[in-house]
Structure 1
């Protein structure tokens, strides 16, 4: 029973139709229709889209499946709807090949990765919305798999053309776990913040609107008492009003659940069995499949379906071979009515029918559905067999979490069945090895859960020790080797028979742990050499390329290379031999190559590799781990060479896509802010010093940003720096720590020269002495390794009052030779200071001018303030010249409006920028003019002729 018209939603329909108008004008939009179950989200969407004959409307449904989440269900559903509406020609041949895992009757050819399927779907959407207005409706986004959520996010943020994404989101679900609730809330909040997104929250109907709905439903056939009772019981939820109206106010009916139970109770047995089967098979309901599941003839099925439809429980679309529940609350009611035994029986039946009916569903979602049904049928033997059979599909289309979950089921069931190896064709050792390969790039919780499920008692002693080592090593932060695990790794190698043991992926995993052995341990290099041989033998398997890439990575970190330059040469040679340069594992190696070149001062080569690798990430948002790795290392090189605009663009573009803001790339952005703005809020980083960092940011980077942010408080900064100098493992990362050495030495020297006499001279001197000793143990890699010791020597000269000009000149020549523009600018300013100290004012002016010019180009406020202070202290330039040189063109425009007394909001409106950007410009102007506030800045500008 459906009302003739939608009640109380005129304003909401208007919002949707306005969004359609915007999308038609090539302004893509996203609408999130939110509300509790039964509030009318889907009905509202149908109403708003009625009569849009010139529009391609495609729909995918999330399903609250008792069988669990089927990956890509929404996407497969959307493609099926597209083909139903547009025919076989809706997809090009290339699109059919790329999307084969999601198309009924198609079989993937060759190795297909999840990101390739996702990318192909995005490209398809882009092509379609370039041709006409496309409305992609995602029903029940809260039940959608992670792939669907990723794609909705990507489509809303990046696609161009005539596109409207409409998603319905249920805000109440008592079955949702606390973790799922947090994840969904965070995801929806992130979408809601996007400029293209409008949230349409549906509220309950007023009493007047309930009465209007009842009038539409049943006319005046209800008595006032019954109408009042329905009004009170429904609490303004439209679906509940409809269900209670259908019951005509019978006294035993108090809720929609009662009505649903009553509907089910009145069904004759064949229709009741059909509804039960549909409740368990939600997510892949097809008329042809239901006929087999309930074991009915076509005529019997037609009669049962007609009864279920007449009773208001199911709806059908015969042209699309589709069956669905009229409302999710009805499916939930049908599911609740099932006993445990009946539920297991229906799961078994669905698994059997899906196995016997290849081609009716897309092959990969079907394989995953079969695995889910056997698991919930509580048939351990068939569950283990199906979970392993679904692994190729899971690798193509499932998330790492879902792949790990399948492996967990296999490992948990392994010891509960007889002769699992004969059943599956797998050994336990192979299961563990493949599971480790799957979970390694994923969340720590997935990896821990997986290894906790391993039946250790069925493994040999050396295999048990290896599994325990794998678990320990997963807790390490990015780029760091925890010394606590060195002895554990050595123990595993003592137990392991490297050369006569199996030559398989498990062995490769063990051999990769060689990087944790001591520097002088000969087993380290031997293990990696053997790993190279074994991965060559495994190269023909799907995982062979990944295993080979991991061994290349481990070897590039090994002690056989005297410097990162040699490791870079090795990486370049190996990368040239790999067949697929767009594979994520290979792109990770590109990121390592960028780092190796950059830390040797070979930035031109580093940036060329980084730019090419980033260009191969067609949709980087679909490969977040790889994207961050490349962005982090590439922007390190860009920052060193002074391309701060490029570095900031990459960091700010990628930052909103991370799950949290405690990642290494976020440290890079904060360090850049310190260089340009002079300060950041470092408290979030300070809280994680010495502990685990959820986002994986490296400890050495965290300590650097905290110390750099605290340089206005030298004592506090010293304490943070000392935490690095006293930690042997952090000091071992000297390819990065040299940067901290130079920063710390400059801090102490700047304070000593600027103050003349330091209150904490002894502490500062002791700190510099420690830095000098620590730096003496560092490797000095490439051209960069030749320069930074010269800069350190110059800072020691400055601090102790010695003539630093020779070392500063040598450092400047080095910085300029390798292209470290910011370091060259800092050194120019130090030379200006040194020449002024020794009376060479002309040289001082020359270096001051050059340093200021670079600082202006970099928009580096701390450097500009230092240039101003030097000019003021040594009378090297007039104030008027200083301010006119410092202000950028945009800042001059802002200054003119500031002088008129405009607010930040008014400046933003006039110059077409955000209020936040206007505020930043005003802050820069005040700082550059040495003013205390806006009024003083305007007065200073007038005094020096900067205003008309």
Structure 2
């Protein structure tokens, strides 16, 4: 025997049948799982060949069926058996079944995920589509396909114009994904095969998830992967859970009899001794690739002999079968000629399949050496030629063994030659070029192509690919200052989710700024970006200083100047008073109006509106009212979504809760329509926070818990954790609630998320004060209140000053408490910020209570209760009523106090604040009242009063929302909203929505008119 043959496909009939049966009934999702070398790719090839044969027979059967005049028999219409599916017989062509006629009519598209260091966004799918189609002019693609221009530059002349860029990465990525899906649909792809998805970039996995979850799934997916190499956050489990017709096939090792069959197929189908098969099975565990490599190595060593009509080992005791594929391949390659070894190294370096001229160039062999070397390499069985004539290793494990066997200088030289030959390709394979130049240690060229990979990833919204490369470019690339300035500008700041990662970039930028040779403009751009990064990672004072110092150096870039000034206008990063931030906002606006085009002016206008509202400046609402609310272009829609989200959050902070619902509903709707994924999610998270304020606590733990699990979004995670901590503390259902709130306080303070830091500080101080730890409550609020007073940021006083006043009173420092409340009143003045007004009224009531002026305290608590309820913030209103009851009891109005405590206990229990309800019930009992009973079943009745959920619906009705819009805002069904409105109308004795709105408005006006004025 002169040569070992290629093994036949054995031992996988059942698996093949399952795969083919799934694919002939599209759409299907087939997942093939198994370790390296187990035969996943071979199963895929056999399945596609069987499917192709099946389709041919099916088409013939369809033609025959159309020609028949007699009705088909029952046997003809029956579904095929497993055996028929694996190998269609001639009888099957007589009449097709329903499954047969549904079979796809086009060739499958095969994509392979390479193990590149720098993956290209959607690279496997893009490369496969590029090989299938050379031009797209006749495909009838929609305008959406313009988003594919960065991925297919060679089609620039025939693709539609590129759409406007999107600043939301999720929306940008989703747009590219939809465009790529449309391309596959136009190409008529019925089966998409993606091999080695454990190496897939995140955008490719998102694309696959999109395909299996879109309403009209058209493409069947056949995916292979190694479970042990899947990333911890892989989307494969979600794929299998959501895919239609999902089938999972797990491949294991072959049995000893199947081992004998496989080896026999390599040896001209001659018999293999059972002892030999058992030995191979024990050493290789039945892994097909390991079996094949072992047989080839034994043959190369002349350790196989044929005796008495069967193949056996040369000796029964001395033969050594390597336990690993690498050992077998390394041993076998060492027996080949030097030229063949160089050819194999070239193929291993290239990774992808390539034509002979490319392989020859990378090998470095002389022209007369190429032919013999290539023939010997192919005869070795390690590399093979595909249908297009390209050559590649038959398995990546063998390629790796060859690669690591070679000396380092030889590998680097091969990578240089690979990069040189690939630079002649069109379009440039930038990810492969970056990979080869990095491996060749050619850092200048690596930087050049890595930056191009970054640009493609950013254009497609694939920030998980872009961020690590940006980090490496800045910290390892050795870029000159001008290039550092350019690359640093590309960092999407909200993606720096870890302090250490940000610190690495900060160190690099500081180092570059120390270079005296750097040009002024470059220094300004680097310093401005450094300032923004420092603000993001929590080094606020330094960040503000860097931004201020950057502005004089940015004279040639008005947009950069305006951006820096707008950032300084936000009320974080310094101890400046609010008026100083306002001056920066006005300066940014002046630059924008004088120098910037409309698109940049509108983007900065949103920043200005947001900063003004954060400062508690009502002029922000005037600017928001004049902002163009249009969706004519993607940028218009993005502006509307951003504005609605930011003003929705501002309305929530100000206490305009019904307006906040309306604005967040708009943000969610626009984001859903235009696929602004991140903005949509942020609107949902803010809505959950609003649910906490308004007492919509039913199911809130589940809603907030969903967003806590959202990876790589620290702000959304912190916001959701805060809601969970507040809810757990109020309900008493989470023993770790205090620790959660404390961790949010620490993280938000470190990151500089000022409003969240203030809210969590106030919440933690309330928890400690309720536990009797007055000193910690004082310690927690000391710095926070100093910041509020020093910066005159009275909006932040809402969550911090009342608990500080209460702690000072508890510490018998009533005078200081009074001074703080008076300073709060003077600073706040007559501003129309309902939430802060309610906090101020609470401080006044606390002071009156501390002075033992019980009648005045009762009146003050009445005002505070009304202020909280008007928002509505029912939990705070109930806690204020509890304090009112204490004042009533001290004023000698025992029955009124007992009545108040009873209603408060019932209200807290209905809200879900069990811990507080139990406390009030205990107080009630201590004062001689009956303990508020607990309902054994069903929902508490509210008599003629609106329940908290009915009150939410009515509030949104007053803001002009329809039933459907209310349902969206509150995450309820329209049927539930209608029922709650009907219940509210019955309680008020009206029969129309208009009448309900009128009577509620009148009652609110009357309550306001009766309220004491400042």
TM-score, normalized by the shorter chain, greater than 0.5? yes
User: Residue 591 of structure 1 contacts residue 630 of structure 1 at CA under 8 Å; is this kept in 2?
Assistant: yes
C-alpha distance after superposition, 1:81-104 (max 9, x if no partner): 8869x9998884345333343347
* 1:118 paired to 2:186: no
Offset at 1:614?
2.2
Offset at 1:372?
4.1
2:115 is aligned to 64
C-alpha distance after superposition, 1:490-532 (max 9, x if no partner): 4774686368x33266655654563445526998666655545
Give 1:96-107 correspondences, 5 Å limit. 96-103=145-152, 105-107=154-156
Give 1:471-550 correspondences, 5 Å limit. 471=530, 474-476=533-535, 482=539, 484-485=541-542, 489-490=544-545, 493=548, 497=552, 501-503=555-557, 507=561, 511=565, 514-515=568-569, 516=573, 519=576, 531-532=588-589
The equivalent position to 1:148 in structure 2, one of 201, 204, 208, is 204
- Structure 1's unaligned 5+ residue stretches are 174-180, 421-427, 750-760, 890-948
Give 1:170-209 correspondences, 5 Å limit. 170=226, 184-187=231-234, 191=238
Offset at 1:612?
1.8
Give 1:322-341 correspondences, 5 Å limit. 324-341=392-409
- 1:793 and 1:849 map into 2 onto residues whose CA distance is 23
Q: Report the CA distance shift for 1:605/1:430 in structure 2 as closer, same or farther (over 3 A).
A: farther
1:942 is aligned to none
1:602 is aligned to 656
- 2:750 and 2:681 map into 1 onto residues whose CA distance is 15
User: Residue 580 of structure 1 contacts residue 586 of structure 1 at CA under 8 Å; is this kept in 2?
Assistant: no
2:92 is aligned to none
Which deviates the most, 531-540 or 789-798? 531-540
- 2:526 and 2:153 map into 1 onto residues whose CA distance is 39
Offset at 1:786?
2.1
- 1:878 and 1:448 map into 2 onto residues whose CA distance is 57
Q: Report the CA distance shift for 1:669/1:492 in structure 2 as closer, same or farther (over 3 A).
A: closer
1:937 is aligned to none
* 1:785 paired to 2:836: yes
1:459 is aligned to 518
C-alpha distance after superposition, 1:794-836 (max 9, x if no partner): 3455567634431232223323433334444544565567667
C-alpha distance after superposition, 1:229-273 (max 9, x if no partner): 533432443321221123336368734224434665677888766
1:234 is aligned to 284
Q: Report the CA distance shift for 1:854/1:342 in structure 2 as closer, same or farther (over 3 A).
A: same
C-alpha distance after superposition, 1:145-190 (max 9, x if no partner): 23224445666778785887665443567xxxxxxx9xx2244797
- 1:397 and 1:304 map into 2 onto residues whose CA distance is 42
1:713 is aligned to 771
- 2:214 and 2:359 map into 1 onto residues whose CA distance is 40
User: Residue 511 of structure 1 contacts residue 527 of structure 1 at CA under 8 Å; is this kept in 2?
Assistant: yes
User: Residue 98 of structure 1 contacts residue 116 of structure 1 at CA under 8 Å; is this kept in 2?
Assistant: no
2:350 is aligned to 281
2:459 is aligned to 396
User: Residue 329 of structure 2 contacts residue 398 of structure 2 at CA under 8 Å; is this kept in 1?
Assistant: yes
Partner SS, residue 60 of structure 1: strand
The equivalent position to 1:244 in structure 2, one of 294, 298, 307, is 294
Give 1:728-739 correspondences, 5 Å limit. 731=788, 735-739=795-799
* 1:666 paired to 2:721: yes
* 1:257 paired to 2:318: no
Q: Report the CA distance shift for 1:307/1:666 in structure 2 as closer, same or farther (over 3 A).
A: farther
C-alpha distance after superposition, 1:363-405 (max 9, x if no partner): 7xx3444444444444455445445555542421364464456
* 1:810 paired to 2:863: yes
- 1:121 and 1:492 map into 2 onto residues whose CA distance is 35
2:123 is aligned to 73
Offset at 1:430?
6.9
Offset at 1:328?
1.2
Q: Report the CA distance shift for 1:193/1:97 in structure 2 as closer, same or farther (over 3 A).
A: closer
Q: Report the CA distance shift for 1:14/1:764 in structure 2 as closer, same or farther (over 3 A).
A: farther
Partner SS, residue 401 of structure 2: helix
* 1:313 paired to 2:312: no
* 1:723 paired to 2:780: yes
Partner SS, residue 111 of structure 2: strand
User: Residue 613 of structure 2 contacts residue 621 of structure 2 at CA under 8 Å; is this kept in 1?
Assistant: no
Partner SS, residue 502 of structure 1: coil
User: Residue 679 of structure 1 contacts residue 709 of structure 1 at CA under 8 Å; is this kept in 2?
Assistant: no
Q: Report the CA distance shift for 1:609/1:402 in structure 2 as closer, same or farther (over 3 A).
A: same
- 2:11 and 2:798 map into 1 onto residues whose CA distance is 68
- 1:429 and 1:526 map into 2 onto residues whose CA distance is 32
Which deviates the most, 575-584 or 372-381? 575-584
1:424 is aligned to none
- 2:430 and 2:175 map into 1 onto residues whose CA distance is 21
Offset at 1:483?
5.3
Give 1:858-897 correspondences, 5 Å limit. 858-862=911-915, 865=918, 882-883=935-936, 886=939
Offset at 1:141?
2.4
User: Residue 308 of structure 1 contacts residue 314 of structure 1 at CA under 8 Å; is this kept in 2?
Assistant: yes
2:493 is aligned to 440
- 2:582 and 2:821 map into 1 onto residues whose CA distance is 32
User: Residue 598 of structure 1 contacts residue 637 of structure 1 at CA under 8 Å; is this kept in 2?
Assistant: yes
Give 1:367-386 correspondences, 5 Å limit. 367-386=430-449
The equivalent position to 2:710 in structure 1, one of 657, 669, 672, is 657
User: Residue 82 of structure 1 contacts residue 90 of structure 1 at CA under 8 Å; is this kept in 2?
Assistant: no
Q: Report the CA distance shift for 1:82/1:560 in structure 2 as closer, same or farther (over 3 A).
A: same
- 1:470 and 1:429 map into 2 onto residues whose CA distance is 14
2:36 is aligned to 37
Partner SS, residue 246 of structure 1: helix
1:920 is aligned to none
User: Residue 205 of structure 1 contacts residue 238 of structure 1 at CA under 8 Å; is this kept in 2?
Assistant: yes
- 1:377 and 1:651 map into 2 onto residues whose CA distance is 48
Q: Report the CA distance shift for 1:513/1:852 in structure 2 as closer, same or farther (over 3 A).
A: same
Q: Report the CA distance shift for 1:371/1:473 in structure 2 as closer, same or farther (over 3 A).
A: same
1:893 is aligned to none
Give 1:78-97 correspondences, 5 Å limit. 79-80=129-130, 92-94=141-143, 96-97=145-146
Give 1:265-276 correspondences, 5 Å limit. 275-276=344-345
C-alpha distance after superposition, 1:577-618 (max 9, x if no partner): 996446768755543322222222222332222222222333
User: Residue 191 of structure 2 contacts residue 221 of structure 2 at CA under 8 Å; is this kept in 1?
Assistant: yes
Offset at 1:432?
1.1
1:356 is aligned to 424
- 2:673 and 2:422 map into 1 onto residues whose CA distance is 34
Q: Report the CA distance shift for 1:317/1:860 in structure 2 as closer, same or farther (over 3 A).
A: farther
- 2:127 and 2:283 map into 1 onto residues whose CA distance is 36
Q: Report the CA distance shift for 1:4/1:559 in structure 2 as closer, same or farther (over 3 A).
A: closer
Q: Report the CA distance shift for 1:306/1:771 in structure 2 as closer, same or farther (over 3 A).
A: farther
User: Residue 805 of structure 1 contacts residue 831 of structure 1 at CA under 8 Å; is this kept in 2?
Assistant: yes
- 2:226 and 2:260 map into 1 onto residues whose CA distance is 25
RMSD across aligned positions (CA): 5.6
Question: What is the aligned length?
Answer: 834
Which deviates the most, 139-148 or 126-135? 126-135
